[in-house]
Structure 1
């Protein structure tokens, strides 16, 4: 796989910029909207922000393994299946944003320091046909944007137009 520097630079900028976008975006949302439940099975905005913070250590761990091990193997990560009980209430949104920033900065610092050839390192993951540093770094970015889109939708979309995530 031949990687071009502009692509990896764009991924790094996007990963860094997600913190600024999310923080500014959440600051514009009224406090009462952060914890509003929009429907059965819908996460609140605060839960989306907490989830983004919660997955940063997993992302850093996977990237670290890919850079230290030859073709590491991973198992799927389904946080809802990690616990058998009802999820705990999310922490205060400002704490989640701070945790997201801290975790993301560690990921950006790690990726900023790697050699261009390291972006092509591969791994095995049963969910994906291909997996590796560059794919996973891009995946993290797309995951951010999916949740940020969902946050915006939960905040601004009228009930009749809200996307249902059910089967």
Structure 2
């Protein structure tokens, strides 16, 4: 079950990241929407409504979750860039994937949103100074402090993590 839930393994933060690693995270974030679009473009309604694992979200929920999660991520980054060590607001991701917009909005709407959002996000990150990359925010669960390098690493991983959910389901189902 762990291989289905964490197909690329869980996220493991490093103590620091090189400029080359950060450039890689930015590229991962920039190109994720295209990879998601390719992964879902030929899927029919039944396939989009199939969970990627037993007890997991459907493919459509995964795509909508990426949009919701990454909207929150860029907001957290902008808060950290404009406020001193802000405490961010967490959200109930399981609750969000059960809301009516997720249940009734076509996935292409969230794919389009991802394209626009990730362009803005990557454009922002490409222009951050070394000092800006060190800016932080606080997650209220455990009062854990994150700098923007770690956040970029986490969301680069997050996109690949969910992309693999979709791709591995397609492979298992021979779609």
Contact 1:122–1:131 at 8 Å: present in 2 too? Answer: yes
1:87 equivalenced with 2:99 (yes/no): yes
- Picking from 125, 129, 139, the partner of 1:111 is 125
Displaced runs of 4 or more, over 3 A: 28-32, 37-41, 126-130
Q: TM-score of the superposition, structure 2-length normalised? A: 0.76
Q: Which structure has the bigger radius of gyration?
A: 1
Q: What is the CA-CA distance between 1:3 and the residue it aligns to? A: 4.7
Unaligned runs of 5+ in 2: 1-14
Aligned residues: CA RMSD: 2.5
Picking from 66, 74, 83, the partner of 2:88 is 74
1:132 shift after superposition: 1.4
Q: In structure 2, what is the equivalent of residue 148 of structure 1?
A: 163
Q: TM-score, normalised by structure 1?
A: 0.79
Residue 163 of structure 1 corresponds to: none
Q: Between Structure 1 and Structure 2, which shows a larger proportion of strand residues?
A: 2
Q: Structure 2 residue aligned with 1:55, among 46, 49, 69?
A: 69
Q: Does 1:124 align with 2:138?
A: yes
Distance of aligned partners of 1:41 and 1:90 in 2 relative to their CA distance in 1, 3 Å threshold: farther
CA contact (8 A) 1:74 1:126 kept: yes
Number of aligned pairs? 156
**Structure 1 residues 38 and 104: alpha-carbon distance in aligned structure 2, compared to 1, 3 A threshold:** closer
Q: 1:165 corresponds to which residue?
A: none
| Unpaired segments ≥5 residues, structure 1 | 159-167
For the Cα contact (< 8 Å) 1:29–1:155, is it kept in 2? no
Q: CA deviation at 1:36?
A: 2.7
1-structure distance, mates of 2:86, 2:116: 25
Equivalent residue for 1:138, pick from 153, 156, 162: 153
Q: Deviations over 1:22-69 (max 9, x none)?
A: 112222445531123577633211111111112222111100011111
Q: State the alpha-carbon separation in 1 of the partners of residues 96 and 109 from structure 2.
A: 22
> Structure 1 residues 138 and 46 mapped into 2: Cα distance closer, same or farther (>3 Å)?
same
